[in-house]
């Protein structure tokens, strides 16, 4: 081969190298972590994750084709959450999707660089997670499942159903920073209604049962269970204990009403998982979480379980039934 031909060939090959490198980078298998502060055998949470994956596929991301999805189910165990969070970060993920405000708090402690999208949380500004709703400003963004204004509405609704209620207890997991903040709003909202408040921090089933048992010793009481992973995970147990002690209660997740709870005032959780897939897609394509605004729920729903109301001897006002989005009979 003549020298001129060799140089021409070499030049042509060199021109192809950057294109080949770019193609390899474009085809790089993306890594998505999912950290769930929930039980892996929980059908409700599996359904929510299934919706997220389905939506992600619609947006062009299929597991083991152009993205690897790594799931970690940490249940309600803080040590497990910390271990699983560290494990996911060790995989160098392009984005981590997270369920459970306590799991969000752990990731906040562990990373200020990896993008994190939360499926649902309380007010992230009030709890210091982000700087603003419009521009989160860091590596966290996502979707809220409630606003603090819900607290007063839920207490008012509970008092409509149980007019003689003079006491209310907030049963919450203090590992969740949002519910700790909510306790202040709970006390403030109860005062104008003439309701005395009690706070019951809980972590496990035994503590939940003891809290309900202690509160039921005096009359004219009602229970308030905020939206929280611990409450949702133990929903069957909680509604059974509350029913046994014949207490009116309102919950922050609609699955509690469907599990036998009296009432729930809840945002649409499935909608959050669908919208979260769009944020994962944007980040996988190069967007920064700092520029993706925090989004509030599109809709709240009131669910009333008439069967439970009858068992408690409670009459649901017709005006409240008319407002209900779902009545369970």
Residue 45 confidence (pLDDT) above 70: yes
Residue 234, domain member (yes or no): yes
- The tokens for 134 are 């419009």
Of the ranges 7-16, 151-160, 269-278, which one carries the lowest mean pLDDT score? 7-16
Range of the domain at 174: 149-267+300-328
Q: Phi/psi of residue 117, each to 5°?
A: -120, 120
**Do residues 212 and 180 share a domain?**
yes
Residue 19, domain member (yes or no): no
**Do residues 193 and 305 share a domain?**
yes
Residue 14, domain member (yes or no): no
**Do residues 224 and 320 share a domain?**
yes
pLDDT at 257: 98
Q: What angle do CA 162, 147, 109 make, to 5 degrees?
A: 125
Sort 230 into a burial class: Cβ within 10 Å, 0-12 / 13-18 / 19+: buried
pLDDT at 23: 43
Residue 10, domain member (yes or no): no
Residue 98 and residue 109 in contact, taking contact as beta carbons nearer than 8 Å: no
Rounded Cα distance between 248 and 261, Å, is 9
- The tokens for 65 are 């084709």
Q: What is the pLDDT of residues 193-250, one digit of tens each?
A: 999 999 999 999 999 999 999 999 999 999 999 999 999 999 999 999 999 999 999 9
**Do residues 102 and 244 share a domain?**
no
Rounded Cα distance between 239 and 120, Å, is 23
Which residues on adjacent β-strands are paired with residue 118? 98, 142
pLDDT at 160: 97
Residue 122 confidence (pLDDT) above 90: no
Rounded Cα distance between 130 and 147, Å, is 15
**Do residues 315 and 260 share a domain?**
yes
Residue 87 confidence (pLDDT) above 90: yes
Q: What is the mean pLDDT of residues 124-146?
A: 93
Of the ranges 16-25, 185-194, 228-237, 296-305, which one carries the lowest mean pLDDT score? 16-25
Other Cβ atoms less than 10 A from the Cβ of 319: the count is 8
In this structure, what CATH number is given to the domain that contains residue 116? 3.40.50.2300
Of the pLDDT bands very low, low, confident and very high (cuts 50, 70, 90), residue 24 is very low
**Do residues 128 and 210 share a domain?**
no
> Which residues contact residue 328 at a Cβ distance below 8 angstroms, ignoring those fewer than 6 apart?
257, 258, 303, 304, 305, 306, 307
């Amino acid at each position: 081969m003549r020298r001129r031909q060799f140089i021409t060939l070499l030049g042509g090959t060199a021109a192809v190298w950057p294109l080949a490198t770019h193609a390899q980078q474009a085809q790089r298998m993306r890594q998505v972590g999912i950290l769930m502060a929930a039980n892996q055998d929980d059908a409700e949470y599996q359904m929510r994750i299934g919706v997220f994956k389905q939506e992600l596929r619609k947006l062009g991301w299929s597991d083991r084709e152009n993205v690897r999805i790594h799931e970690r189910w940490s249940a309600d165990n803080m040590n497990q959450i910390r271990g699983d969070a560290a494990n996911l970060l060790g995989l160098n993920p392009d984005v981590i999707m997270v369920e459970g405000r306590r799991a969000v708090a752990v990731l906040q402690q562990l990373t200020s660089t990896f993008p994190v999208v939360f499926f649902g949380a309380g007010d992230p500004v009030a709890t210091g997670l982000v700087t603003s709703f419009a521009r989160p400003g860091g590596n966290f963004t996502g979707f809220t499942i409630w606003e603090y204004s819900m607290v007063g509405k839920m207490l008012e609704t509970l008092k409509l159903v149980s007019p003689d209620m003079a006491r209310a207890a907030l049963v919450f997991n203090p590992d969740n920073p949002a519910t700790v903040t909510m306790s202040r709003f709970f006390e403030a909202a109860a005062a104008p209604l003439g309701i005395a408040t009690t706070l019951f921090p809980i972590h496990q089933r035994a503590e939940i049962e003891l809290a309900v048992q202690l509160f039921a010793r005096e009359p004219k009481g009602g229970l308030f269970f905020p939206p929280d992973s611990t409450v949702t995970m133990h929903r069957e147990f909680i509604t059974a204990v509350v029913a046994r002690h014949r207490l009116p209660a309102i919950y922050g997740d609609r699955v509690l009403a469907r599990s036998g709870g009296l009432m729930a005032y809840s945002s649409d959780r499935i909608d959050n998982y669908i919208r979260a897939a769009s944020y994962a897609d944007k980040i996988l394509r190069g967007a920064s979480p700092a520029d993706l605004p925090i989004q509030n729920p599109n809709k709240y729903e009131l669910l009333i379980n008439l069967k439970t109301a009858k068992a408690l001897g409670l009459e649901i006002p017709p005006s409240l039934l008319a407002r209900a989005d779902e009545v369970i009979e």
